[in-house]
Structure 1
Amino acid sequence: MRRLTAAVAASLLPGLMVIAIAGLPVPAGAAEPYDAYADEACDGYFDPLLLERGSRCSGSRERSCPTVRHWTPRRVSRQLPACEGVAQAAHPLHAERIQSSYLALRPDHGAPRAIYLMLHWHRATAHEAVNYLHLQDLARSRGALVIVPDVPGNQWAQSGSRNINQHVAWVDAVLADAQRRYGTGNLPVYLVGLSNGAAMAMHYACARADRIDAVMPVALPMYRSDLAACSFSQSIGYVQVHGDSDRFVPYRGNLWFASAEQVYARMRRNMDCVDAGAKAARLESPLTPVDIRYGDGCVGGRRGYLLRVENAGHTWPDMETLSGRDRNPYGLIARNFDATLQGYDLLQLAAGR
């Protein structure tokens, strides 16, 4: 019963996730007001090496698609605003005894450069994932084909569930349908998930490493037993983002969940990485500095990245809220790292692109 309760708590990112409450003040005594967008050097491309060369690389100024501020929750969950330069469509799909659909966003001029497959959190819809995580900007700014499935019941199968293999097979079907429909079978595939979606992304990566190039779980709940059983059939890139004040899935782990660092270490072993060449960088911020641990030396030119977001909760860095504030019931939201655009850049680096 405790295991089930922990799983439900870890995967819960319901509609409350976007009801913001008061943010934290900037600490007194700061030398100057903090500007999360003070350095343009990383716009269009984020690489921790730029931090070592003196760039701040904080935030991203590339967003140009509409935000959800001042919308109603109902509109956010069911509508997509038009965004110049982005073509969007919903495609029904009946496969593996699942009747549902997925959203597809792509640049309206030119061919996509990669497939970004996003698995939403518990109780969310594909529309909410697109709106709150600014996924339209990925199609516009990075030229990605963004695929966001709507899983029936708004919840991905959890560890030990009898339908977990069915959900893995349905993700197979979504990816295959999108590749056929858009003629993108030769493009790299980046798999991403948040919370319950992150857990499903890792189930998929452990079972289907030969079908993706990199995976990025954010706020990942990974049972210790699942971690011990996970292996990759081939080396893939790995990016992990986790807040160290996550109350639902503690960064340091607990009786049920492996710690973020234990997961990262296991994934590097799965990628056949050597320990030599490990590096570290830091994104500064008064509230949510981000420590980045990374290294290459992996088979196939792959890389691994672990981002520890200090003071952040069970949240997606730089996600939107209805009020525009920096905190919701799941904790503090970092504004100095954009897990959508800059996370995509890390996925490319992790995949060796």
Structure 2
Amino acid sequence: MIARLATLGAVLILGGLSFMGTAPAVAAPVDPPGVLTFGNLARTYVLHVPPGPPAGLVINLHGAGMTGAQQAGLTNYNAVANQFGFAVAYPDGIDLSWADGRGASIPDRSGVDDVGFLAALVDRLSRDLAVPPGRVFVTGLSAGAFMANRLACDRADLVSAIAPVAGTLGTGVPCAPSRPVSVLAIHGTGDPVVPYGGGPMVGRGGPSEIISAAALAERWRQADGCPGPFIAQTAAGPVQRAAALGCGGGTQVELVSIDGGPHIWPAAMDASLASAQFFASRA
């Protein structure tokens, strides 16, 4: 009798498991800090969070051949970010570069979706850090500047303002933003890598054809619906400024030209402070 009861109990238990279905599925692994899995790739980034609740989020994109950590060191952006209460993320590009649309980099030629990756990173960090709506900004150097422009062109819904340094757009890269975006473009007139006047260039990944710094500013002026032409601002040494004001949605477009400036994060002006001030003014 006892054996029969034991057998019956086993049948009932097994039957209950069968009735309830298979064991619950194991939850998908959660990315560790500094990692975002996107497109089946574990993408990495360095994150700086200021004291207190962030007043905004800056995505700071490195140049070709660099890492996010190196971009953080080069720009010293954490210090100015703390002044304005910004969180800053420094993502790493595949093969130390970006798929910015020119077709001159390995990620571009491999079909990497960097627009999608950066959009996903913005979404995650905005949610996790409770970033106020409309307070996401992007800056970058060289290839990072090309990528900043492309991201704003394709996902203006996520980005309020950009500050590309020493980078424009490829001649074949479309730019039809869904809404106005404020732009502070900074470029040295003596840049031997990304020519100020546009035309052919050869970067780490290979050759490409690019638009000039002035053409980039004009493209954004038209996209933002600015009512008038660029107006020269007060010059300071080698730094020349021209701005288009009163643009759609309260945006503005400014071109900062550094006379004779080379291909660097500029020393003739504090590009980190200038871009952070520009972002902070985009209330």
TM-score interval (norm. to shorter): 0.7 to 0.9
Please state if 1:116 is matched with 2:61.
no
Please state if 1:344 is matched with 2:276.
yes
Q: Structure 1: 5+ residue runs without aligned partners?
A: 1-88, 319-333
Q: How far, CA to CA, are the matches of 1:295 and 1:316 in structure 2?
A: 23
Please say if residues 56 and 132 of structure 2, whose CA atoms lie closer than 8 Å, have aligned partners that are also in contact: no
Deviation at 1:186, TM superposition (A): 2.3
Please state if 1:309 is matched with 2:251.
no
Root mean square deviation, CA, Å: 1.9
Deviation at 1:162, TM superposition (A): 4.5
Deviation at 1:254, TM superposition (A): 2.1
Q: How far, CA to CA, are the matches of 1:277 and 1:254 in structure 2?
A: 22
Please say if residues 239 and 257 of structure 2, whose CA atoms lie closer than 8 Å, have aligned partners that are also in contact: yes
Deviation at 1:279, TM superposition (A): 4.1
Matching residue within 175, 179, 196 for 2:122: 175
Matching residue within 210, 215, 226 for 2:157: 210
Aligned to 2:49: 106
SS of the counterpart of 2:89? Answer: strand
Please say if residues 276 and 297 of structure 1, whose CA atoms lie closer than 8 Å, have aligned partners that are also in contact: no
Change (3 A) 1:279 1:174: same
Aligned to 2:20: none
Change (3 A) 1:163 1:296: farther
Please say if residues 236 and 271 of structure 1, whose CA atoms lie closer than 8 Å, have aligned partners that are also in contact: yes
Please say if residues 201 and 215 of structure 1, whose CA atoms lie closer than 8 Å, have aligned partners that are also in contact: yes
Aligned to 1:245: 190
Encode CA deviations 1:161-206: one digit per residue, 9 max, x unaligned.
3555611101011111111221225251111111111111111111
Aligned to 2:74: 132
SS of the counterpart of 1:261? Answer: helix
Q: How far, CA to CA, are the matches of 2:94 and 2:215 in structure 1?
A: 32
Aligned to 2:99: 157
Matching residue within 232, 250, 254 for 2:199: 254
Please state if 1:91 is matched with 2:34.
yes
Q: How far, CA to CA, are the matches of 2:187 and 2:95 in structure 1?
A: 26
Structure 2 length-normalised TM = 0.79
Deviation at 1:138, TM superposition (A): 2.5
Q: How far, CA to CA, are the matches of 1:277 and 1:251 in structure 2?
A: 17
Change (3 A) 1:293 1:113: same
Q: How far, CA to CA, are the matches of 1:272 and 1:115 in structure 2?
A: 25
Q: How far, CA to CA, are the matches of 2:230 and 2:62 in structure 1?
A: 34
Please say if residues 239 and 347 of structure 1, whose CA atoms lie closer than 8 Å, have aligned partners that are also in contact: no
Pairs aligned (count): 239
* Segment of structure 1 superposing worse, 302-311 or 252-261: 252-261
Q: How far, CA to CA, are the matches of 1:223 and 1:145 in structure 2?
A: 29
Change (3 A) 1:153 1:104: same
Q: How far, CA to CA, are the matches of 1:339 and 1:268 in structure 2?
A: 21
SS of the counterpart of 1:94? Answer: strand
Change (3 A) 1:233 1:276: same
Computing the radius of gyration from Cα coordinates, the structure with the larger value is 2
Change (3 A) 1:130 1:277: closer
Q: How far, CA to CA, are the matches of 1:221 and 1:113 in structure 2?
A: 28
Structure 1 length-normalised TM = 0.64
| Equivalent residue runs for 1:293-308 within 5 Å | 293-308=242-257
SS of the counterpart of 1:232? Answer: coil
Q: Structure 2: 5+ residue runs without aligned partners?
A: 1-31, 201-208
**Larger RCO (CA within 8 A; separation ≥ 6):** 1
SS of the counterpart of 2:151? Answer: helix
Matching residue within 258, 267, 278 for 2:220: 267
Q: How far, CA to CA, are the matches of 1:148 and 1:133 in structure 2?
A: 11
Encode CA deviations 1:83-126: one digit per residue, 9 max, x unaligned.
xxxxxx95211112221221111222x21111111111111111
Change (3 A) 1:245 1:301: same
Same amino acid, percent of matched pairs: 27
Encode CA deviations 1:257-314: one digit per residue, 9 max, x unaligned.
2111111111100011111683422122xxxx10010121201110111000111111
